């Protein structure tokens, strides 16, 4: 597609994005630290590799989500390596669909119904799903296993965001905080965002099902919200 340079230079390469279709990833942080920005950059990486992405925004509007994509694309295009920026913007719009749910309305049956509507009518067939705002505090393990089974059956990669809280000290043996401390084994990749020295550190707990002690240092610039 002509965007190999952007893909190869993406610092998120250390996460081996796109290595497996049947893959679930988790981005965790306290409120306002950049979970949505990171999900958008993961989604854009998938699009640049030729995939189609559905971005599910739970409890937020389509316009608010589109602004995130516009802002991240703006920073990507600033370095001048893309010779036809309008073609890239158009390609992203054609390969991305934003879907909204109310917090109480997101479930495996409703997700499956909406995905099948798109696929069976040949409107949009996604390879990757990003879910921003999933309510892990009020979700059972069985609910998440049900969603994972659906994604596996559709051979789809998925990334979720979760909010951690400063006053909740529960944590899994791997170091994953509440409310995901009891279900972290369901995720192949787990990344925590932590403020550190005027930057936001990406603490990679698990990378494609393996210990992530050797993935290198990644940070999120709090000004641009771009991964460095």
Coil, helix or strand at residue 154: coil
CB atoms under 10 Å from CB of 18, counted, come to 19
Q: What's domain 4-220's superfamily in CATH?
A: P-loop containing nucleotide triphosphate hydrolases (3.40.50.300)
The Cα 95–Cα 51 span in angstroms is 7
Residues 23-78 have pLDDT tens digits of: 899 999 999 999 999 999 999 999 998 999 999 999 999 999 999 999 999 998 88
Q: Are 190 and 174 in contact (CB under 8 A)?
A: yes
Closest CA to 76 of 115, 28, 37: 37
What residue segments make up the domains of the chain, in order of their start?
A: 4-220
Tell me the pLDDT of the chain averaged across its residues: 90
> Could you give the CA distance from residue 121 to residue 147 in angstroms, rounded to a whole number?
22
- Asked if 60 contacts 130 with a C-beta cutoff of 8 angstroms, the reply is no
Any bridge partners for residue 144, and if so which? none
DSSP 8-state class, residue 25: E
Contact 56, 130 (CB under 8 A): yes
Task: Give me 47's structure tokens.
Answer: 């699009």
Check if the beta carbon of residue 92 is closer than 8 Å to that of residue 73: yes
pTM (two decimals) = 0.93
Q: Is it the case that residue 208 has pLDDT exceeding 60?
A: yes
Q: Residue 204's closest CA among 186, 196, 195, 213? A: 213
19 pLDDT band (50/70/90 cuts)?
low
Q: What percent of the chain has pLDDT over 90?
A: 71
Q: What confidence category does residue 6 fall into, taking pLDDT thresholds of 50, 70 and 90?
A: confident
pLDDT at 80 over 70: no
CA–CA dist 221, 228 (Å, integer) = 7
Mean local confidence (pLDDT), 99-113: 93
């Amino acid at each position: 597609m002509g965007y190999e340079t952007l893909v190869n230079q993406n610092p998120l390469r250390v996460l081996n994005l796109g290595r497996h279709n049947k893959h679930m990833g988790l981005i965790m942080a306290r409120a306002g630290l950049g979970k949505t920005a990171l999900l958008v950059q993961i989604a854009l990486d998938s699009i640049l590799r030729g995939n189609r992405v559905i971005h599910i925004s739970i409890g937020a509007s389509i316009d608010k989500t589109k602004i995130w994509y516009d802002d991240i694309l703006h920073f990507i295009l600033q370095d001048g390596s893309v010779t036809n920026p309008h073609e890239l913007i158009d390609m992203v719009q054609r390969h991305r669909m934003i879907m909204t749910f109310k917090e109480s309305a997101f479930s495996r049956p409703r997700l499956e119904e909406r995905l099948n509507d798109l696929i069976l009518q040949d409107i949009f067939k996604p390879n990757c799903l990003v879910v921003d705002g999933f309510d892990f505090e009020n979700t059972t393990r069985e609910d998440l296993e049900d969603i994972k089974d659906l994604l596996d059956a559709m051979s789809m990669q998925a990334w979720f965001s979760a909010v951690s809280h400063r006053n909740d000290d529960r944590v899994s043996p791997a170091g994953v905080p509440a409310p995901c401390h009891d279900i972290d084994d369901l995720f192949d990749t787990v990344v925590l965002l932590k403020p550190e020295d005027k930057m936001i550190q990406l603490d990679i707990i698990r990378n494609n099902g393996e210990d992530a002690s050797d993935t290198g240092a990644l940070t999120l610039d709090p000004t641009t919200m771009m991964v460095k």
